[in-house]
Amino acid sequence: MAGLSEIFEKYCQQSTLTGIVLIYFVTCIFTYFAFIWRKVKIPKFPRKILLITAHPDDECMFFSPTVQAETSKGNFVYVLCLSKGDYYKIGDKRTKELIKSCSVLGIPERNIRQVDHAKLPDSPSIDWDAEILQKEIIAIIYGLQPNKVITFDSNGVSGHINHKALYHCIQDICGKNRMPRHTRVFVLKTTSILRKYLSILDLPLAYLTSKRTFVSTPLQTFYAWRAMFAHRSQLMWFRILYLMFSNYMFVNSLQEVCHHGDC
Ligand SMILES: [Zn+2]
């Protein structure tokens, strides 16, 4: 009899676990459709959105849900990429790939500005020159006068020091009150490594932890893949896995860090 009750107890535990997993999965599906079917507010006048990245491919590997959400609202997205991605000395090739990728995401070539400065090399071990970086970014911001600036947060999503440098630069500009008063600044929130590869299962957590979450429709996710495939030189096997499992391919959670110069 003791054996039978043990088996029954085990069965109950397994059923409870299966039930919890099923409920979570259904919640994910429900959250997904709630996101992609929600009414999107279209601005009366198109806004200028400046996306600041460190390398060609950042725009689609990390920011494609944000970019496509903005272009689908009729806003103009501009990309400022602070390097040619020359770590393996194929910068020229990567520049062409960036143009192709942006075109897939709805960003015309004229909206792309790429910086190629010796003090801002694509490198995971060399710190960027903060003064030059700030000069380059401010020149574009003052020229463009964007309504929104979007970049990485302090952890840089992947932890790359070039990504983190962009955050610190933007924070510095905001801290010195040098950001135009009509420009709002947002950063892409870094998620934990576990959440990063949860794919669609991350959605309820993204919803609960951020007020500004962009979720790609299946078609937009397909375009994000196509944009990534434009970066042929970067398509190693682990990047394919990234495309399959990374939450950044279809969900972005943003956080506002500077509004009307009042940081
Ligand atoms: Zn990067």
The pLDDT tens digits of the residues spanning 146-161 come to 999 999 999 999 999 9
Q: Which residues surround ligand 1, an ion (CB under 5 A)?
A: 54-55, 58
- Among 127, 123, 140, smallest CA distance to 84 is for 123
Cα(37) to centroid(ligand 1), Å: 31
Distance of CA 110 to the CA centre of its chain: 22
Q: How remote is the CA of residue 237 from the centroid of ligand 1, in Å?
A: 17
3-state SS assignment for residue 34 = helix
Which overall architecture, per CATH, does domain 46-259 show? 3-Layer(aba) Sandwich (3.40)
| C-alpha closest to that of 172 among 127, 131, 125 | 131
Say which residue the tokens 């694509």 belong to. 122
Centre of ligand 1 from the C-alpha of residue 184, in Å: 23
Q: Please list, in sequence order, all residues whose beta carbon lies within 8 angstroms of the beta carbon of residue 160, skipping any fewer than 6 positions away.
A: 54, 55, 124
Which residues are paired to 252 by β-bridges?
214
For position 261, what pLDDT does the model report?
46
Phi first, then psi: give them for residue 8, nearest 5 degrees.
Answer: -65, -45
Give 131 Cα–ligand 1 centroid separation in angstroms: 20
CA 172, 177, 180, 182 dihedral sign is positive
Cα(190) to centroid of ligand 1, in Å? 13
- The secondary element (H helix, E strand) that includes residue 181 is none
Per-residue model confidence as pLDDT tens for the chain (263 residues)? 557 777 777 777 777 888 888 888 888 888 888 888 887 788 888 999 999 999 999 999 999 999 999 999 999 999 999 999 999 999 999 999 999 999 999 999 999 999 999 999 999 999 999 999 999 999 999 999 999 999 999 999 999 999 999 999 999 999 999 999 999 999 999 999 888 888 888 888 888 888 899 999 999 999 999 999 999 999 999 989 999 999 999 899 999 997 654 44
Ligand 1 center–CA 57 separation, angstroms: 7
Q: What's the CA-to-centroid distance between 160 and ligand 1, angstroms?
A: 7
The pLDDT score that the predictor gives to residue 1 is: 55
CA distances to 44, 52, 244, 252 from 187, in Å? 24, 10, 24, 10
Which of 71, 54, 99 is CA-nearest to residue 231?
99
How far is the centre of ligand 1, averaged over its atoms, from the C-alpha of 85 (Å)? 8
pLDDT of residue 2: 57
80 Cα to the center of ligand 1, angstroms: 12
pLDDT of 94 reads 96
